[in-house]
Amino acid sequence: MSDALSKLWALSREVRHLQCVCEMLDYDAQREMPPLATAGRGEQSALLSAFVHKKLTGRELGVLLNEAAQMPEAAEFPNAQMLRCLKREYEVNSRVPAKFVMREANLCVKAQYAWEQAKKQNNFADFAPFLDEIFALKREYSTFFDYPHIYDALLNQYENGFSAVQVEEIMAELRSAQRNIIQSALAAQPPQGDVLCGKFSIKRQEKLSRMAAGILGFDRQQGVISTSEHPFTVTCGVHDVRITTKYFPDNLSSLFSTLHETGHALYEQNVAEAWIDTLPGAPQSLVLHESQSRLWENIVGRSPEFSACLFKILQKFFPRHFNQLEFSRFLSSVNQVRPSLIRTEADEATYNMHIMLRYELEVAMLKNELKARDLPAVWREKMQEYLGVTPQNDTEGVLQDVHWACGLVGYFPTYLLGNLASAQIFAAAEKQLPGLHEELKQGETGSLRKFLIQNIYRFGGLYSAPEILQQVCGEPLSAQPYLIYLTNKFCR
Amino acid sequence: MSDALSKLWALSREVRHLQCVCEMLDYDAQREMPPLATAGRGEQSALLSAFVHKKLTGRELGVLLNEAAQMPEAAEFPNAQMLRCLKREYEVNSRVPAKFVMREANLCVKAQYAWEQAKKQNNFADFAPFLDEIFALKREYSTFFDYPHIYDALLNQYENGFSAVQVEEIMAELRSAQRNIIQSALAAQPPQGDVLCGKFSIKRQEKLSRMAAGILGFDRQQGVISTSEHPFTVTCGVHDVRITTKYFPDNLSSLFSTLHETGHALYEQNVAEAWIDTLPGAPQSLVLHESQSRLWENIVGRSPEFSACLFKILQKFFPRHFNQLEFSRFLSSVNQVRPSLIRTEADEATYNMHIMLRYELEVAMLKNELKARDLPAVWREKMQEYLGVTPQNDTEGVLQDVHWACGLVGYFPTYLLGNLASAQIFAAAEKQLPGLHEELKQGETGSLRKFLIQNIYRFGGLYSAPEILQQVCGEPLSAQPYLIYLTNKFCR
């Protein structure tokens, strides 16, 4: 291998290691860090971000990229994919000043803490100034680029190559279609309570989480299951993938939350050994990432087949609660359409509506058509319009998500696009795996996981979402398979 | 303030932040990190160490140090202390190649994991190669310097300005004196069981730890109390000091372990705000650090006065166990002299003997007079010679301490020297605080803590151990006050 290429791979390893350190700091900040440590953590985060930024903008990288491009091996897999990734990182990062990167990293640590406090105390006013500051920073970020839409530069941080125009086209298609699905589902389903409500020992929930994650294929030799206020998945290092969940004493929502995060974790844990510790080898597409969390949580997790297996396990774990229940009741309850306030608890039919609302608010904030102080009122209006429900306070309204506090503006659409991709990818798996439904009924996830590893996970970030979808499904991202899936599930 | 000076303060802040990130990684490695993540964590650690090393050896620092030295404010407090610290860091680090720093950081993460496994499985053979490699690295390190003794360069990493000759002189003085104290204590004390043995709920132990740390003054707004295999204290950031302990279901050793670590934490938490986030402002002297853990754990924690307060608390926490016990039995039990295998559980009379043994083995390993494979046998011999006990396996012998696996060679003497300093410092406090003993009886630690903050903690690392001892006690480090303390306690 040419010298320039191997030096680029080495540099991409260094950057990846440092990114993982940043993730480690964030993981800790969301779990254990004491309150007064926030400012110092912000400085740490800023220093590391600047270090990464320097590596991705340095003259050395520019020279190596030019040198490597001349080599014959530069066109081969995975060199070509690595070069594409580093070239893009070089170009994008070179447009962003180091001082901006440090300011942003520092602000986000502080804003995240402020958000936590504000959410706990239902005190949006204290958080609003941070929100204005974050959106001002994001506005500034988009000026470093020449995209047609103010949202594009931000969206591209999470999903390279997607545009606001594409997102809006898809949303336009979904908006009315999903409204119809919601209405017909609400009309058809019987009124019923939530079978996941009740008293459940935290200790047994923890054990259940470990078991459920294990059934999906989570490897605790290279992973950790822990807790946090807001469940998330994070890669803190090579072979170090952590998922968190939150256990409630009065409901079992931790179960599906664990399935969701395990979906993310499976992607991260199954990147091929050859490039798992490199920047281009790490999963890059948030659409693909979210497709996997949604696939395992919903398409698998709430399917009649896998639910049957889950139900048996629940009967063993919590016999008093589940032994008196019929499976059909369990199945219809975990699939009930229930327009509600909290995005992470939303059912499959209503989930995308939560995303559209957030997207619209983000665009309005970026365009300065909306100020943070006015967000709660607009939030309430839109919730009423989209889902017919109104939050009684900001904690269950505009304060519910951590994303904006972390600086994740432009991220939400990847959830919606990920939903679409999940249905497309699962349909492809069904075609290739004739025994799939029977296996899921037995709690056997091996064939599906193997299919996903083979076609998606092992490549990490080497291929883009459109490339993967073309390879796996033979078509570009489309709303139709997801709408068909929802219709089949909720409108029969 | 001159520009060069303020730039140096800023650089010293950056270095401190990065050091704390390294500590954070280590904290996590000892607590949550999954097994397969070890190699990747080694790479992370190596990268960050190299980053710190570069900042401390860069041309920029050299130029700034020269510039700053010309300024009139350079002679003022705390500029003079900062300059002395950075100058020393510059000189020491410039002698050590960056590649060496990376190799060392990487090796230590892996060795620490290997040690954990070896200790768990009582399998010294698997760990021995790491130990040889670490001592070879330490031998190499000492060649970068021109000290008269092979141990000096290593010792100076933990206690600047101390020499192996000084350590050996002190050890010579202690060796026979402590033997006499042990023998007369053993002859005088009645045979008795350990009142801290018994069944104790982990949940209540956790609560007790939080309460005990709180009584000493541990601030949980800027600190965390958690658990690990080997208790330690670490500063993960500005206002982020973490102590760990280990809870056993069948004894209450966690209590004194918590007092010990809280002693360390008080020092870290009470550095003055003006320089707490800087490199020279962070506590540097391990002798002073250990003096504080030993002072709070032993001189305070096991004193008749504070024990009376502890005993009342224990009666509330564990009435069944402690209500039937007389206080005098409790007091004599927590002060029993009991030559034993494990250093961290050693009583005050025997503790230093454990250190002398380790020091001698370190010197022999460094001089290549001893190979790792021969360590267990020599360990057993020396334990028999010094304490009259012989470990039945390596887990309770040569594998008991994490230090060598972490690369902490040259560190152990600071425990012994810290013991000496603890008695000197407490004697000084007694002179200045006439009501001290009565206060401790009531569980009031405020006056003592204030004295220590005022005279030691607030300065962080700005003054050296000899400077602090001179200021506080009016004399250099000496073995006499400690021997008098032990004699008064154990030989009456």
DSSP for B416-427 reads HHHHHHHHHHHH
Which residues 6+ apart lie within 8 Å of B360 measured at CB?
A: B382
Task: List Cβ neighbours of B337 (8 Å cut-off, separation of 6 or more).
Answer: B182, B185, B186, B189, B347, B349, B350, B490
The number of beta carbons lying within 10 Å of the beta carbon of residue A90 is: 16
Residue B151 is given by DSSP the state T
Q: Tell me the C-alpha to C-alpha distance, in Å, between residue A468 and each of A119, A404, A460, B225, B364.
A: 38, 29, 11, 46, 60
Residues of B annotated as catalytic are: 261
pLDDT at A2: 56
**Residue with the two structure tokens 């309150």:** A35
**pLDDT score, position A192:** 86
Contact B43 A226 (CB under 8 A): no
Which residues touch A248 (CB under 8 Å, ≥6 apart)? A200, A254
Query: Is residue B428 within 8 Å of B472, Cβ to Cβ?
Result: yes
Parallel/antiparallel/unpaired status of strands B233-237 and B240-245:
antiparallel
Question: Which of A20, A28, A239 is nearest residue B24 as measured by Cβ atoms?
Answer: A28
A216: how many CB neighbours lie within 10 A of its CB?
21
Burial (0-12, 13-18, 19+ Cβ within 10 Å), A83: buried
A325 vs chain B: nearest CA distance in angstroms? 35
pLDDT of residue B2: 56
Nearest to A340 by CA among A116, A182, A121, A117: A182
CA–CA gap between residue A331 and residue A233 (Å, rounded) = 27
- Going along chain B from its start, the domains and CATH numbers come out as 3-121 (no CATH), 164-490 (1.10.1370.30)
Report the distance separating Cα B247 and Cα B253, nearest Å. Answer: 8
**Segment (H or E) for B245:** strand B240-245
pLDDT of B492: 75
Mutate one of A33, A240, A241, A270 to test the B interface: name it (highest B CB count within 10 A).
A240
Residue B323 CB burial class (10 angstroms; 0-12, 13-18, ≥19) = exposed
B242 contacts in A (CB within 8 Å)?
32
CA atoms within 13 A of residue A461's CA, in its CB half-sphere: 24
Residue of B nearest to A13 (CA): B43
CB B398 within 8 A of CB B357: no
Chain B interface with A: residues with Cβ < 8 Å: 13-14, 17-18, 20-21, 24-25, 28, 32-37, 39-41, 43-44, 47-48, 51, 220-224, 226, 236-240, 242, 277
The residue assigned the tokens 């994650």 is: A213
CA distance B161 to B155: 9
Catalytic residue among A89, A104, A116, A261: A261
Neighbours of A183 (CB within 10 A): 13
Residue pointed to by tokens 């104790």: B200
Which of A11, A22, A47 should we substitute to test contact with B (largest number of B Cβ atoms within 10 Å)?
A47
* Residue spans of chain B under pLDDT 70: 1-2
CA dist., res. B420 & res. B425, Å (int): 9
Q: In terms of CA atoms, which chain A residue is nearest residue B47?
A: A14
H/E stretch holding B127? helix B124-143
Residue among A16, A14, A464 nearest A279 (CA):
A16
Residues of B in contact with A14 (CB under 8 A): 47
Are the Cβ atoms of A34 and B277 closer than 8 angstroms?
A: no
Tokens of B306: 């504070």
| Closest CA relative to residue B23, chosen from B61, B63, B52 | B52
Instruction: Round to whole Å and give the CA distance between B342 and B434.
Output: 36
Q: What is the DSSP letter of A221?
A: G
Look at A240 and B34 and tell me if their CB atoms are within 8 Å: yes
Any bridge partners for residue A248, and if so which? A251
The widest CA-to-CA distance across chain A, in whole angstroms, is 70
Do A235 and A23 meet the contact criterion of CB atoms below 8 Å apart?
A: yes
Q: How many CB atoms lie within 10 A of CB B70?
A: 9
- Please, where are the H alpha helices in B286-444? 286-294, 304-317, 319-322, 327-334, 351-366, 375-387, 413-432, 436-441
How far is it, in rounded angstroms, from Cα A55 to Cα B46?
16
Q: What is the DSSP letter of A191?
A: P
Look-up: residue for tokens 């319009």? A385
> What residues of chain A score a pLDDT lower than 70?
1-2
Q: Return the sign of the alpha-carbon dihedral for residues A384, A390, A394, A397.
A: negative
Assigned token pair, B223 = 């600190």
How many other CB atoms are found less than 10 A from the CB of residue B395?
Answer: 18
β-sheet bridge partners, residue B245: B227
Model pLDDT, residue B221: 97
With beta carbons under 8 A apart, name residues in chain B contacting A220.
Answer: 34
In angstroms, the Cα distances linking A326 to A300, A301, A303, B157, B285 are 20, 18, 16, 68, 67
Cβ contact, residue pair B40, A220, below 8 Å: no
Residue B271 Cα, gap to closest chain A Cα (Å)? 14
Evaluate the CA torsion angle A395, A398, A401, A402 in order and state its sign. Answer: negative
The per-residue pLDDT for range B189-233, each reduced to its tens digit, is 988 889 999 999 999 999 999 999 999 999 999 999 999 988 999
Cβ B20–A40 below 8 Å, yes or no?
Answer: yes
8 Å CB contact of B277 and A226: no
User: Where do we find the tokens 């929802």?
Assistant: A486
Are the beta carbons of A21 and B25 separated by less than 8 Å?
A: yes
Residues ≥6 apart with Cβ < 8 Å to A353 = A175, A178, A179, A182, A339, A346, A386, A387
Output the pLDDT for position A380. Answer: 97
pLDDT per residue as tens digits for the range B329-347: 999 999 999 999 999 999 9
User: Which distant-in-sequence residues (6+ apart) come within 8 Å of B224 by Cβ?
Assistant: A32, A33, A34, B240, B241, B242, B243
Interface residue of B16, B36, B244 to substitute, partner A, most A CBs within 10 Å: B36
Alpha-carbon distance values, B257 to B213, B243, B379, B408 (Å) = 10, 10, 25, 20
Answer yes or no: A261 catalytic. Answer: yes
